[in-house]
């Protein structure tokens, strides 16, 4: 396959939109943590402790999701630089690494969505009791 400048450039909008979505998830969790902090200081019940544990995991995953998306973005830029200086073999290798970083980021996003669903389940169970 012949790698041209336009191929890694196709990742730019995808990665940018992905990073916006990740940032929105981070901001939503930050707001929830602030809200739970207030509730926890008033009443430290078991369901709140479970939610706090889930939120800690989710924050770590979101941090890693964002890091992998940024790495993917940087590798796409490096790929374009390597294509420009006609180092085709290295450009192909770095572009492959960029795609792998993006895949890891998306897989982490999937895991975070699963944890988010579990956290909502905890809250629903608490309301049903």
Determine the pLDDT at residue 35. Answer: 81
- Each residue of 71-106: pLDDT tens digit? 999 999 999 999 999 899 999 999 999 999 999 999
Cα–Cα distances (Å) from 47 to 103, 111, 123, in that order, read 33, 21, 7
Give the lowest-confidence range in 18-22, 25-29, 42-46, 119-123.
42-46
pLDDT grade for 46, boundaries at 50, 70 and 90: low
Helical H segments across the chain, by residue range = 6-9, 11-42, 46-84, 88-128
């Amino acid at each position: 396959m012949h790698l041209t400048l336009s191929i890694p450039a196709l990742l730019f909008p995808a990665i940018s939109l992905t990073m916006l979505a990740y940032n929105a998830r981070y901001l939503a969790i930050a707001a929830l943590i602030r809200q739970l902090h207030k509730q926890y200081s008033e009443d430290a019940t078991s369901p709140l402790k479970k939610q706090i544990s889930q939120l800690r995991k989710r924050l770590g995953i979101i941090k890693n999701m964002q890091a992998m998306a940024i790495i993917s973005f940087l590798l796409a830029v490096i790929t374009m630089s390597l294509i420009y200086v006609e180092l085709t073999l290295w450009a192909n290798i770095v572009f492959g690494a960029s795609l792998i970083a993006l895949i890891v980021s998306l897989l982490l996003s999937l895991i975070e969505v699963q944890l988010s669903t579990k956290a909502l389940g905890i809250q629903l169970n608490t309301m049903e009791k």
